[in-house]
Amino acid sequence: MDEFTTAYIEAALWSSNDENDVPLDRDHTAEDIAAETKLRMIEDCTEFQKRHAADITENPTQAGHDFWLTRNGHGAGFWDGDWSEDVGERLTSASKEFGFFTLYVGDDGLVYGLNG
């Protein structure tokens, strides 16, 4: 996986909680993400990078992290000052187009994702 996607998945795991409100990254890694969920995450990251390469090439790790946070409405992301104002606004709008993506732990112990 590339830097952007790796950072996106890491941000997803540390900012998502299980049913006991424990951050997923305490007990789970990228290896615990169900294949179909990981594929969807990779596809979203690939598409975002393709559309916005000119804005994110200087810091793909931060961009992957901020893509997860921004699309899911966390208190930080592209808009919080780490990016120039025009780039931050553009990337924030683009992230919102992807909609929310929520992680949860299935009965089998794997991490799954849901849109919406």
Q: What is the DSSP string of 69-111?
A: HHHTT-S-SGGGSSS-HHHHHHHHHHHHHT--EEEEE-TTS-E
The DSSP secondary structure of 48-73, one letter per residue, reads HHHHHHHHHTT-HHHHHHHHHHHHTT
C-alpha distances in Å from residue 101, one per residue of 55, 68, 83, 84, 86: 23, 8, 23, 26, 25
What pLDDT band is residue 82 in, cutting at 50, 70 and 90? confident
Res. 114: pLDDT tops 80 = yes
Count other C-beta atoms under 10 Å from residue 100's C-beta: 11
**Domain total in the chain:** 1
CA distance 64 to 2: 10
Q: Can you give the residue range of the structural domain that contains 16?
A: 3-115
Q: List, in order, residues 6 or more apart from 56 with CB less than 8 Å away.
A: 4, 49, 63, 91
Predicted confidence (pLDDT) per residue in 29-54, tens digit = 999 999 999 999 999 999 999 999 99
What pLDDT band is residue 93 in, cutting at 50, 70 and 90? very high
Here the tokens at position 83 are 């990016």
Per-residue confidence (pLDDT) for residue 75, from 0 to 100: 85
